[in-house]
Amino acid sequence: MWLLKPQNPPPVTHFFHQDYLLSLPKLHHQVGANDFLNEYEKGRTPNPDIMCNKHIKFSCFYHYAVDNLGADAVATGHYARTSLEDEEVFEQKHTKRPDGLFRNRFEVRNPVKLLQAADSYKDQTFFLSQVSQDALRRTIFPLGELTKDFVKKIAAENRLHHVLQKKESMGICFIGKRNFEHFILQYLQPRPGKFISIEDNKVLGTHKEEDHHDQRCAACWFLYTLGQRAKISGLREPWYVVEKDGIKGDVLVAPQVDHPALYRDLLRTNRVHWIAEEPPATLVRDKMMECHFRFRHQMALVPCVLTLNQDGTVWVTAVKAVRGLALGQFAVFYKSDECLGSGKILRLGPSAYTLQKGKNRTRVAPEVSSDSPGLHPTP
């Protein structure tokens, strides 16, 4: 069975004896787009790929395959691995599947671990960090032990030339080929505002639609991401977004790509989704645990200390301040090659610039979530 994204042609179905096509364009929009738009409207920076995997591929698609079609398991093209061995499954290609082949897989025992792919550059565990334990137990990742080059070699040997010519998927599934800014403007109202220097509160310019006739979303303050370069009319030197005012529509900016206002070492997530369904034993016992995290795919892993709150949220203290942390992004946690799970970033600690200025250490970025604020971790 194949899950088709809107506007995608059927894949290599002629290699299989029986296939089904499941198209879910309305669901893509309801689940993916609604969450995506709600996050942007709050001034956050969402990651639709993580939520699409959680709610569509590994929930709706997975349950349809298992419950409606009686599938034993699902296989996806993600570059990832699990702690379950799949060699026995792949050896059944030309033989009748013996009874009970998957039985041990489904028995409730030790949780299945989500492991990084052999090809570290293509590893996609970041995007799978919200997948449920139930779905992971019945999922096979055929590409997990392979490199991208070897996969291309297999495709060439089997004359799958259209697979070789297919470009990497970089867009957002529910938007497709539509212009991103045009899509946003169909649902969210632009709000003019000012670019303000964080150093002296000087107004450097405005972001109004009439000021930029060639940019329909010039007044979309919500599309500016912390850390990105701000396009300020009339200024040649680069300025970078460090904070956003969701009420006024103002964008605070700082000069220089490595300005200390762009760096933070503290964040708080919502209730963490643990792949094993429960927090690691060390974290439960000690309320603190060393591990690594990243908040962008393919960025270097950052050493950190997790502090567990009573409500299941965590404070993440990076060993070294990192650049460009933004609300709405996911902090994905790792221990060695295991992906432990992830949590959405709902609160930011003070920037290095704020600390240098001697401002109140408890000051945090504005939060509009109904989530409880939690407590600052005890030093």
**Which residues fall within 8 angstroms of residue 246, CB to CB, at 6 or more apart?**
42, 43, 221, 222, 366, 368
Phi, psi of 225 (to 5 degrees): -105, 140
Enter the DSSP assignment of 7. T
pLDDT of 6: 44
Distance, CA of 325 to CA of 66 (rounded, Å): 38
CB-based contact 363:376 (threshold 8 Å): no
CA-closest candidate to residue 207, choices 190, 194, 223, 224: 194
Convert the pLDDT of each residue in 56-114 to its tens digit.
899 988 998 889 888 889 999 999 999 986 555 555 444 455 555 555 566 657 899 99
CB-based contact 230:193 (threshold 8 Å): no
CB atoms within 10 A of CB 321: 17
Where on the phi/psi map is residue 227: left (φ > 0), alpha (ψ -120 to 50), or beta?
A: left
AA identity, residue 337: D
Handedness of CA 141, 145, 148, 149 (dihedral sign): negative
What is the distance between the terminal CA atoms of the chain, rounded to a whole angstrom? 52
Q: Would the pTM count as exceeding 0.75?
A: yes
pLDDT of 221: 74
CB-based contact 268:371 (threshold 8 Å): no
pLDDT of 213: 42
3-state secondary structure 144-175: CCCCHHHHHHHHHHCCCHHHHHCCCCCCCCCC
Strand duo 193-197 + 251-255: pairing: parallel
CB-based contact 144:79 (threshold 8 Å): yes
Convert the pLDDT of each residue in 158-195 to its tens digit.
888 776 777 666 556 656 666 777 777 777 877 788 99
Question: Mind telling me the catalytic residues?
Answer: 52, 173
Phi, psi of 185 (to 5 degrees): -70, -15
Name the 3-class secondary structure at 2: strand
Q: Where are the alpha helices (DSSP H) in 174-296?
A: 180-185, 281-286
The torsion angle over the Cα atoms of residues 131, 132, 133 and 139, rounded to 10 degrees, is -60
**Which residues fall within 8 angstroms of residue 57, CB to CB, at 6 or more apart?**
3, 76
CB-based contact 131:58 (threshold 8 Å): yes
pLDDT of 134: 94
CB-based contact 309:347 (threshold 8 Å): no
Enter the DSSP assignment of 271. S
pLDDT of 103: 55
CB-based contact 207:195 (threshold 8 Å): yes
Query: How would you write the pLDDT of the chain (379 residues) with one tens digit per residue?
Result: 444 444 444 455 555 555 666 666 565 556 667 788 888 888 898 898 999 899 889 998 899 888 988 888 999 999 999 998 655 555 544 445 555 555 556 665 789 999 999 999 999 999 999 999 999 999 999 999 998 888 888 888 888 877 677 766 655 665 666 677 777 777 787 778 899 999 999 999 987 654 444 444 555 677 888 999 998 888 989 999 999 987 888 999 999 999 999 999 999 999 999 999 999 999 999 999 999 999 999 999 999 999 999 999 999 999 999 999 999 999 999 999 999 999 999 999 999 999 988 744 454 555 544 444 444 554 4
CB-based contact 295:304 (threshold 8 Å): no
Name the 3-class secondary structure at 106: helix
Phi, psi of 67 (to 5 degrees): -85, -40
Domains of the chain: 2-165 (3.40.50.620), 190-255 (2.30.30.280), 263-356 (2.40.30.10)
Strand partners, 335: 338
Enter the DSSP assignment of 69. S
Q: Which two tokens stand for residue 68?
A: 């409606």
CB atoms within 10 A of CB 165: 8
Enter the DSSP assignment of 136. H
